């Protein structure tokens, strides 16, 4: 499988992948009629002053790489197709009726569980399953964090108005703040989305002020090291957006490296995303790196909420990740080998 982004790496290491076949092309013949039927069973309208305010936000038109999508009324049944799109909708208080299957642990994450309130979060599959999406009778489809081609977009857009990424960004490279604001506009929650963006940026500014030592230090993110192969996440990739925002520089020489080039990991800070320290130290070459011996390396596995937070990168996920990462990044950059970097 291909992980979101430009690097070849497992899409969901440590999580179960389901694969469901894409529905036959004949499905589209019935799509328009069935999709219209989805609007006959809307969820109950929110109470209080927020409902009229959101209603007044519509219709909205969102520009994207294939043109524009018009959303006439507040969506009641939202399906998310992009790998991380659910995280942005849930941050805005909208629980999708179905989402793309990714990390199976996602509903239990600390920033997600309170919104779900113990209710399940339905998923359709790890592949885009048009039939399963159609059965949910959505009135909005979010497909921002995914490589969507024109054919796929047209098929989704026949089911319901579909929002994909802006032409201003490469596939799966939309910045978290842009994705938050785009999602907020589609859901009629522009003010809430802007407030979340402001909150995260204020927290990042606070951390940068408290830790000027982060600025300019080269942080290498070694993603999903497995069987002697390592993937270095470049600047601009959503999976290292937080490190970029905190002022760290990225390793740009190579994307995929083997054990013979582990010297490329030996920079100011190393973040191993997808393996334990014990596992990594089994490599004699890795164990001898100065960034390792001087305890300037952080480790987390794909089973931790932190790994999920960095992969989904919604605003609430980033706030969670900041709380987890900053103390350990501070310990790794204080130029004192005696300062121990704790587990994540």
CATH number (2.30.30.60, 3.40.50.170, 3.40.50.1980, 3.40.50.450) of 27-188 reads 3.40.50.1980
pLDDT number for residue 268: 96
Statement: residue 189 has pLDDT above 80: yes
Strands (E) located in 22-161: 60-64, 67-71, 78-80, 98-99, 140-143
Q: How many CB atoms lie within 10 A of CB 4?
A: 21
pLDDT above 90 coverage of the chain, percent: 74
pLDDT number for residue 42: 36
pLDDT tens, residue by residue, 135-165: 999 999 999 999 999 999 999 999 999 999 9
Statement: residue 252 has pLDDT above 80: no
The confidence band for 342, taking pLDDT boundaries of 50, 70 and 90, is confident
- More confident call, 156 vs 4: 156
pLDDT above 70 coverage of the chain, percent: 83
pLDDT tens, residue by residue, 19-38: 333 333 334 333 433 333 33
Stated pTM of the model: 0.85
β-partners of residue 62 are: 69
The confidence band for 205, taking pLDDT boundaries of 50, 70 and 90, is very high
Cα–Cα separations (whole angstroms), residue 164 to 67, 179, 197, 234, 277: 10, 10, 20, 23, 38
pLDDT tens, residue by residue, 240-250: 999 999 999 99
pLDDT number for residue 57: 81
Statement: residue 219 has pLDDT above 50: yes
CATH of segment(s) 201-332: 3.40.50.1980
Q: With beta carbons less than 8 A apart as the criterion, state whether 148 and 167 touch.
A: no
Element (H, E) at 231: strand 229-232
CA 229 distance to own-chain centroid: 23
The confidence band for 339, taking pLDDT boundaries of 50, 70 and 90, is confident
- CA 47-94-61 angle, to 5 degrees, is 95
Neighbouring residues of 161: CB distance < 8 A, sequence distance ≥ 6: 69, 70, 71, 139, 140, 141
CA 73/CA 55 separation, integer angstroms: 7
Statement: residue 101 has pLDDT above 50: yes
pLDDT number for residue 336: 87
DSSP-derived secondary structure for 281-319: TTSHHHHT-HHHHTT-EEEE-TTSHHHHHHHH--HHHHH
pLDDT number for residue 338: 84
β-partners of residue 63 are: 68
The helix-helix angle for 315-332 and 176-187 (nearest 10°) equals 160
Statement: residue 177 has pLDDT above 90: yes
Dihedral-angle region of residue 88 (phi above 0 means left; psi in -120 to 50 means alpha; beta otherwise): alpha
Using only C-alpha atoms, the chain has a radius of gyration, in whole angstroms, of 21
Residue 11, token pair as written in the block: 């899409």
pLDDT number for residue 52: 60
**Comma-separated ranges of CATH 3.40.50.1980 domains in the chain:** 27-188, 201-332
């Amino acid at each position: 499988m291909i992980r979101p982004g430009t690097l070849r790496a497992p899409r969901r290491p440590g999580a179960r992948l389901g694969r469901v076949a894409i529905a036959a092309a004949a499905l589209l013949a019935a799509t328009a009629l069935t999709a219209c039927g989805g609007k006959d069973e809307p969820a109950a309208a929110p109470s209080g002053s927020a409902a009229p305010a959101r209603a007044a936000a519509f219709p909205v038109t969102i520009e994207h790489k294939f043109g524009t999508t018009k959303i006439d009324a507040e969506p009641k049944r939202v399906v998310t197709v992009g790998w991380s799109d659910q995280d942005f909708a849930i941050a805005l208080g909208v629980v999708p009726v179905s989402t793309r299957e990714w990390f199976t642990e996602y509903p239990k994450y600390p920033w997600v569980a309170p919104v779900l309130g113990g209710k399940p979060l339905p998923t359709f599959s790890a592949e885009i399953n048009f039939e399963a999406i159609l059965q949910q009778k959505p009135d909005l489809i979010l497909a921002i964090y995914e490589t969507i081609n024109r054919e796929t977009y047209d098929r989704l857009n026949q089911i319901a108005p579909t929002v994909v990424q802006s032409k201003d960004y490469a596939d799966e490279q939309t910045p978290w703040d842009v994705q938050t604001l785009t999602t907020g506009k589609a859901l009629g929650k522009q003010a809430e989305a802007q407030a979340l963006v402001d909150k995260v940026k204020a927290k990042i500014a606070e951390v940068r002020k408290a830790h000027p030592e982060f600025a300019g230090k080269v942080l290498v993110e070694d993603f999903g090291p497995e069987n002697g192969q390592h993937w270095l996440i470049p600047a601009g990739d959503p999976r290292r957006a937080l490190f970029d925002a905190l002022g760290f520089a990225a390793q740009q020489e190579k994307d995929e490296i083997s054990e013979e080039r582990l010297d490329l990991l030996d920079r100011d800070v190393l973040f191993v995303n997808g393996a334990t320290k014990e596992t990594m130290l089994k490599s004699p070459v890795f164990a001898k790196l100065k960034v390792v011996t001087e305890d300037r390396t952080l480790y987390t596995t794909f089973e931790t909420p932190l790994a999920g937070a960095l992969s989904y990168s919604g605003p609430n996920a980033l706030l969670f990740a900041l709380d987890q990462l900053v103390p350990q990044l501070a310990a790794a950059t204080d130029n004192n080998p005696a300062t121990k970097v704790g587990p994540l």
